[in-house]
């Protein structure tokens, strides 16, 4: 009986050590990249002063079915003329602020025929994607550090699950 208990404890410890060894590269990557994430957060904030703007009622038409009244309470701030300090990205979210490359400026939807406009669809898709990150921040109590850690861990895991692809997700 004592041997069975000891075996269970030893097996549990061995399992925990194996998991730690498997997670170590992810932890090292995330810890190494986290300072850059914090720096990027600060740089985007410095390059884009101001409070941004609330989404319009027209834009909420697309937001509310997916995110409820998230944008109506003025909690989400949209900077749709943002200066992004890196190339290749259309938008980035830090906290409740969504920064969008001017090329993807989200026009008013006063005329629904814009739905046929590819740029409008891409902009809408981008803003809806970035709103997902706002929700993730909210789930982590608005913590930039907690979000950065979770985001970088997910990035590492997705990248390594897809044969070490260098493509962004």
Instruction: Of 86, 85, 77, 84, give the one whose Cα is nearest residue 104.
Output: 84
Interatomic CA distance for residues 6 and 80, integer angstroms: 61
- pTM, full prediction: 0.75
Average pLDDT of the chain is 81
Residue ranges per structural domain of the chain: 24-161
- Could you tell me the two tokens for 61? 């038409």
Please tell me the predicted confidence (pLDDT) of residue 165.
47
pLDDT, tens digit, 9 for 90 and up, residues 118-134: 677 788 888 889 999 99
Element (DSSP H or E) covering residue 154: helix 144-161
Dihedral pair phi/psi, residue 77, rounded to 5°? -120, 125
Residue 100 · residue 130 · CB < 8 Å:
yes
């Amino acid at each position: 009986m004592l041997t069975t208990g000891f075996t269970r404890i030893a097996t549990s410890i061995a399992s925990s050590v194996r998991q730690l060894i498997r997670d170590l590269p992810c932890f090292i990557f995330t810890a190494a990249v986290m300072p850059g994430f914090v720096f990027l957060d600060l740089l985007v904030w410095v390059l884009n002063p101001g409070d941004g703007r609330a989404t319009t009622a027209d834009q909420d038409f697309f937001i509310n079915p997916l995110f409820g009244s998230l944008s109506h309470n003025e909690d989400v701030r949209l900077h749709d003329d943002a200066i992004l300090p890196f190339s290749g990205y259309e938008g980035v979210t830090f906290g409740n602020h969504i920064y969008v490359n001017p090329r993807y400026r989200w026009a008013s939807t006063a005329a629904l025929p814009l739905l046929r406009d590819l740029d409008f669809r891409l902009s809408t898709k981008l803003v809806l994607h970035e709103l997902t990150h706002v929700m993730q921040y909210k789930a982590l109590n608005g913590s930039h550090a907690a979000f950065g850690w979770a985001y970088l861990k997910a990035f590492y895991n997705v990248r390594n699950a897809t044969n070490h692809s260098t493509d962004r997700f």
